[in-house]
Amino acid sequence: MQTESVAPPVAKVSPVKETLHGEERVDEFAWMKSREDPEVISYLEAENDYTKSVMQDTEELQESLYREMLARIKETDLSVPVRIDDFFYYLRTEEGKQYPIYCRKFQSLDAVEEIILDQNDLAEGNEYFAFGTLAVSPDHRILAYSSDTLGREIYTLHFKDLTSGALLPDQIENIEYSVAWANDNRSVFYSVPDEAKRPYRLMRHILGTNPASDALIYEETDAAYYLGAVRSKTKAFIFMSLGSLTTSEVWYLDANRPEDEFKVIHPREQGVRYEVAHQGDVFVITTDDDAKNFKVVEAPIDAPGKENWRTVVPHNRDIKIDHVEVFADHRVFFERRGGFTTARIQNIRTGEDHPIDFPEPVYWVRPGPNPQYNTHILRFSYTSLITPDSVYDYDMQTRDRELLKRQEVLGGYDPAQYASERISATASDGTEVPISLVYRKDFSKDGTHPALLYGYGSYGASIDPFFNSNLLSLLDRGFVYAVAHVRGGGELGEYWKEDGKLLQKRNTFTDFIACAEHLIEQDYAHPKRLAIMGGSAGGLLMGAVVNLRPELFQAVIAKVPFVDVINTIRDPKLLYSVLEYEEWGNPDDPGFYEYIRTYAPYDNVEAKEYPNMLVTASFHDPRVNFWEPAKWVARLRRIKRGDELLLLKTKMVAGHGGASGRYDRLRDTAFEFAFLFKVLEVQA
C-alpha cells in the first residue's frame, strides 16, 4: 500500500530494562516520556510531517469532505432554553465562530437577551480553549466558570458579576471540575487535584476573600478515590461524593449552613457503590449493595445510614438502573433492558407507574437538563442512528409529549433513505454480542461495500446508537457503519461489564473479533474493505485485536489509544493509575501481570503484517499521555512487516478529546475519513 517516496521517521532506540515477576522487560522507547525533551518534540514533529506528506494527495478530498459535512450543520443555532427559577438559560452558536455563546432571558422567552459569557471572546488568542464548569449563584447574580487553555484538564476558576459584567478579583488556579454554590450566594465549594491530577481535596471559598485563605474541607488520601461536589436539585443540600471504580461514599451538608461540617450518608464499604438525591423528607439512594444491576432505597434525612435503608425498587438481574431523576411528585427511572435504554415514570403520591414508549427498534434516550424540582414536566433527549437528536418535554401527569427541537440537518437529509437494525454475533464462548447497524436502504449485502466498525468496551461505558450527520459522508458512499456492543461496556448492565474487565478482559477483544467475523460472514463487509475505529480504552481495543487478528481488517483508526497498559498503570504519578487497578488489575500482582501481558498492545507487537493504521495523540492529554501512541507506533515501525501505511498524527495543542473548536474538530474528522477513503479505495 505504501508507495510514497518520503521515508517514515526512525525513532532512536535507547533500551531501558527492568525485571518484573522474573521476566526481563525492555522498553526501547521509554525516553519519549518527556514533554520538555526537544528530541521528543522533534520526533513528534517529524511524524506529523511524514503523515502530512503521505496524506498530501488527499488534501483536496479533505477540504471537500469538510465543506460537505459543514454544509449539513446549521451554524447559527440555539439550544432549547432551560428554565431555572425566573430565568431561561440557553446557548447559541454563530456562523464562523468556533465556540458557543451562553445567554439567558428573564421570565419570558420574549424578553431581551442577556449574554452572560461569550466563549469566543475568552478563547481569542488561544489555539485550545475548554470550559470545565459553569455555575450560576442561587440568586443568579454571579457566574462561576472555569477554563483550560492547554488540554491538561487543569482549570482556572473565575467569577463574573452578571449585573455589572465585571470580573471579580477572586481567581482560583489549579482546580478540577466540581463547583457547587451554597445558598448564601458567597460560599463556593470546589475540588483541587493532586500531582497525578486526581481530584482529592474539597475547598470552600468565600467571595471577596483571598483564595490563599480558602478552607480545606476534606482531603482524600486513598489514591484510588476521587471526589466531587454538587448541590441537590432541591437546593437544600451540598453532596460531596467520593469514589473509586467499585466503591463510593457520599457526604451531605445543609446548603443554608455552608460553615457546618459535612455528615456521611454511609461510610465506604468495599465493593458497594451508591449515589444520592434529595426528595421531600428522604434521601433517594441508588445502590449496588447486594444488587449488581442496582436497586433504589429510601433513607430518612436525620438517620440515612445503611441500617435504615428501605428498598423501594428491588434488584432485577435483567434490568439495570442507570439513573433516577427526582421531582416533587415523581421519580423517573432511566433503565437498560436487553441492551436498550428506557424511561419509567412513578407517581410517588399515587404509586402509579408507567413507561414511556419509543418508536424505533434501535435508539437512545437520556435525561435532558431537569433543574426544576417542583414540576411535572420531564425533559429528555431521543436519538437513533437515523433520527437526529430530539428534545422533548413530557408531562408526567397527562402523558403528553411535546417535541421542542430536532437537530436540523441541512442539505435535504431524508431519514427514509436509511435503515437501522440490531443484529448479534456469537462469541467464542457462545455469548450473543449485539451489533447496531446503519446504512442506506439501497445497500446490498454482497460483501463489496466498505464498512466501519466502532468499539469501546471498558469501564461499563455504553456506546449507544446516536445520530451523527458526519456519518452521512460515509453512508452516502456505500458504507455500512456498525457499533459492536462488546463486553466490558455497560449496554447490557453490570453483568455485561463484569464479564469484560480484570481477568475477563480478553472477552472484550474476542467479542469484537466475533462481530467483525459476523459482518464478513453475513456479507455486510469484506476484510479488504473493513475498517475499525476506537479511542482511548477503545484504542486499546484496536491495538489488541490487530495483534490477534490483523488479517481481518484493512484499516484501523486508533485515537489517543491506551496501549502501554503495564507501564502506565504502574506509574502512580499519572492520572488515575491506581484507580485503574479495579478495571484492569494491578500488574505488580503476578497473576494480573501475566494476564495483562497476554493482550497489552505495546507488549504484543510482532514481526508480522498489520493493517493500514492511523494513530492519533494529543500532546497535553492527561488521560492517555502522548508517549503511549508515540511509543507504540515507533515499536510497530521497528518490528512489523509489510508496507501498509502507519501514520502518527499528534496535535500539539489539544486535550484527550482532541481539538476544542467545532470547526477544528470537523477538520479532524475530514482527515480521518480521507484516510479511510485512501486505504479502502473508496471513490470520493
Distance, CA of 102 to chain centre:
23
CB atoms closer than 10 angstroms to residue 158:
17
For residue 25, the surrounding DSSP H or E stretch is strand 23-27
**Looking at 315, 518, 620, 656, which residue is catalytic?**
656
Tell how strand 114-118 and strand 130-136 pair up: unpaired
Q: Which of 159, 268, 260 is nearest to 215 (CA)?
A: 260
**Looking at 148, 384, 621, 660, which residue is catalytic?**
621
Question: Is 158 part of the annotated catalytic residue set?
Answer: no
Question: Is 656 part of the annotated catalytic residue set?
Answer: yes
CB 415 within 8 A of CB 407: no
461/483 Cα distance (integer angstroms): 13
- Gyration radius of the chain over CA positions: 25
DSSP character for 127?
A: S
One-letter amino acid for residue 387 of the chain: T
DSSP character for 414?
A: -
The 10 Å CB-count burial string (b at 16+, else e) for 623-636 is bbbbbbbbbbbbbb
The strand order across the sheet containing 330-337 reads: 319-326, 330-337, 340-347, 353-355
Query: What number of H helices and E strands is found in the chain?
Result: 12, 39
Q: Which of 121, 127, 489, 173 is nearest to 320 (CA)?
A: 489
3-state class (DSSP) for residue 122 = helix
DSSP character for 468?
A: -
Helix runs in 16-169, H state only: 38-54, 59-70, 119-123
Give residue for cell 438559560.
89
Phi and psi torsions of 310, nearest 5°: -120, 120
Helix runs in 32-191, H state only: 38-54, 59-70, 119-123
CB atoms closer than 10 angstroms to residue 67:
11
CB 198 within 8 A of CB 204: no
Helix axes 537-548 and 506-521, enclosed angle (nearest 10): 70
**Looking at 536, 577, 618, 660, which residue is catalytic?**
536
Helix axes 59-70 and 662-680, enclosed angle (nearest 10): 130
CB atoms closer than 10 angstroms to residue 534:
28
Question: Is 449 part of the annotated catalytic residue set?
Answer: no
3-state class (DSSP) for residue 142 = strand
CB atoms closer than 10 angstroms to residue 445:
13
What cell numbers appear for 634 in the block? 515507533
CB 67 within 8 A of CB 667: no
Tell how strand 187-193 and strand 199-206 pair up: antiparallel
Q: Which residues participate in catalysis according to the annotation?
A: 536, 621, 656
